[in-house]
Amino acid sequence: MAVNPTHSLTPREVMADAPVIPVIVLHDVAHAVPLARALVAGGIRMLEVTLRTPQAIACIEAIAREVPDAVVGAGTIRTASDADAAAAAGARFGVSPGYTPTIGRACREAGLPLLPGVATGSEIMAALEDGFTALKFFPAMQAGGPGMLKAWHGPFADVVFCPTGGISAGNAGELLSLPNVACVGGSWLTPGDAVKAGGWARITALAKEAKALQRAAQ
């Protein structure tokens, strides 16, 4: 899928670009651009930079400005101010750890396509009521893993998920084989020791392995 920098993405387009969306925690703005370039070199362009550190917004700004082939998003969006700050920094999509109508409305008003986090049937129904059908299942492995996704496929056959939380190279394939899983989210593509050491070649190699993972036909 070609991503036009001026194109307004949909959540399903974010999910469809690659089998894995890396979940990125950055503590140093100097790491943001080389990390993004390393992931893009491996074929991974949808990058979720989590708002878990004071440097996160500056990192999003740097990637948006200096890595045009990346599509940077903001994770851990919990408030309207998070959504506004992420959009102002150049984020192209948002990811939340849970869902409320308030956060859904805030992201729409900020022009930020949202992957809302859900862990229960009631949360899925709340997101569906507000028009969201592409959802993040979080924390996936702790909340039921593949078994829960299989159970949800019956009542929620119109929903696609991005399981995140406890996902690794070892279990990603099982999740991606499920018909209601469009992609997975994981931090294993950007190990902290590699980022700290500037091990960009290692990260590119991990991205290439992730890009090669097979998904079920949707």
Domain containing 172 equals: 11-211
Q: Is residue 216 part of a domain?
A: no
Q: Is residue 5 part of a domain?
A: no
Catalytic residue among 13, 48, 150, 174: 48
**Does the pLDDT value for residue 3 go beyond 90?**
no
Q: pLDDT band for position 1 (50/70/90)?
A: very low
41: domain CATH number is 3.20.20.70
For residue range 147-198, what is the model confidence (pLDDT) as tens digits? 999 999 999 999 999 999 999 999 999 999 999 999 999 999 999 999 999 9
Number of domains making up the chain: 1
Q: Is residue 56 part of a domain?
A: yes
Q: How far apart (Å, rounded) are the C-alpha atoms in residues 73 and 94? A: 5
**Does the pLDDT value for residue 5 go beyond 60?**
no
Catalytic residue among 66, 109, 123, 136: 136
The contacts of residue 82 (CB under 8 Å, 6+ apart) are 51, 74, 76
* DSSP string computed for the chain: ----TTS---HHHHHHS-SEEEEE--S-HHHHHHHHHHHHHTT--EEEEETTSTTHHHHHHHHHHH-TT-EEEEE---SHHHHHHHHHHT-S-EE-SS--HHHHHHHHHHT--EE-EE-SHHHHHHHHHTT--EEEETTTTTTTHHHHHHHHHTTTTT-EEEEBSS--TTTHHHHHTSTTB--EEESTTS-HHHHHHT-HHHHHHHHHHHHT------
Q: Is residue 2 part of a domain?
A: no
Between the alpha carbon of residue 107 and those of residues 26, 66, 170, the distances in Å are 23, 24, 33
Q: Is residue 4 part of a domain?
A: no
Q: Any catalytic annotation for residue 129?
A: no
Q: Any catalytic annotation for residue 208?
A: no
**Does the pLDDT value for residue 66 go beyond 90?**
yes
Does the pTM exceed 0.85?
A: yes
**Does the pLDDT value for residue 134 go beyond 70?**
yes
Structure tokens at 74: 């903001």
For residue range 85-129, what is the model confidence (pLDDT) as tens digits? 999 999 999 999 999 999 999 999 999 999 999 999 999 999 999
Q: Is residue 3 part of a domain?
A: no
Q: What pLDDT is stored for residue 2 in this prediction?
A: 45
